[in-house]
Amino acid sequence: MAAGFNQITDLYDIYHIVQNTMIRVPKDSLIASLKEFFARDSKYHYVCDEWGYPKTPDHTDLIPDAGLYDELTTRVFVGEQNRFSNIYYPAILVKAGGFRSIPISFNRNKYLVEYMQQEVVDDYGNRTFITVPDRFILAGAWEGSFSVKVQSKGIRERDDLIELIAILFVDLDWANLSRTGVSIKPDLSVGSPSEEDDGNDKLFSQSVEINVRGEWRREIPINNIIDTITFCVEFGTINPPTEAPNLEARGISELSWPVSPEE
């Protein structure tokens, strides 16, 4: 995992980008949250096919209650846009809006150094932990918006879905999204309802506008910059004399005297 998702490019690893939560991660997180939420419902029951897409089969031979108590079809479409081959209602469509860069510090944390604890063991078996620099940190933030549009053939369906989506992102799934790096800002708003002709029927629409905040982060390792850390211990006279802990000195003295045969 890098940059907050499974990337398909090598540039994140080359430039040590460990997080870049701007468009892809928030959009996928919002769509996944909506799918899991409506999968628990019976009236607006979401069902996916074997490839993970909304299950929208041909309804020619299906009963009107299909999808209420089974997995034959989804009763609400959730995605980024409708399929090119067919359009299913009611539909919940998630689209990204504009984004801007928000610095979290004057210099983007350019001179921030993260340290690590390293264990050091000497020849006598003495152990200690020292703090050494581990990586340079650069970071910033993104702020932008997403539009969750509801399209329905009925006014009641549209109103129900708008209210459910609003409470989902304001409270029910707010903490889970925050843990994935997507922060929902408190100024969520609902746009004005609209309607338009759709053949001989009416299509009723309304949108929930969601402002989000994400972050980017680079962690540049500096282990290869620090090649060697040298420790020097100097022994000498200390006034007043003290004894170093865990330090033991041993010495062996031998005295020999040659003996002649005459003796």
What pTM was computed for the model?
A: 0.73
Predicted pLDDT at 8: 78
Amino acid at 77: F
Question: Which residue, among 246, 260, 222, 223, has the nearest Cα to 124 in the 3D structure?
Answer: 246
| Residue 165, phi then psi, degrees to nearest 5 | -65, -40
pLDDT tens digits, residue range 106-123? 777 777 888 888 888 877
Q: Which two tokens stand for residue 223?
A: 């282990």
pLDDT tens digits, residue range 59-94? 666 666 665 666 677 888 998 887 655 678 889 999
Question: Which residue, among 136, 250, 126, 145, has the nearest Cα to 207 in the 3D structure?
Answer: 145
Predicted pLDDT at 235: 44
At a CB cut-off of 8 Å and minimum separation 6, what does 108 contact? Answer: 138, 139, 140
pLDDT over 70 (residue 227)? no
pLDDT over 50 (residue 2)? no
Burial (CB < 10 A; 0-12, 13-18, 19+), residue 235, is: exposed
Where does the chain show beta strands of DSSP type E? Answer: 17-20, 77-79, 91-102, 112-121, 127-152, 183-184, 189-190, 194-198, 201-221
Using alpha carbons, list the distances in angstroms from residue 154 to 114, 158, 172, 178: 56, 6, 25, 33
Q: Which two tokens stand for residue 40?
A: 């628990």
Q: What is the pLDDT averaged over residues 169-189?
A: 91
Q: What is the pLDDT averaged over residues 150-159?
A: 92
Confidence of residue 247 (pLDDT cuts 50, 70, 90): low
Ordered by start, the domain boundaries in the chain are 11-221
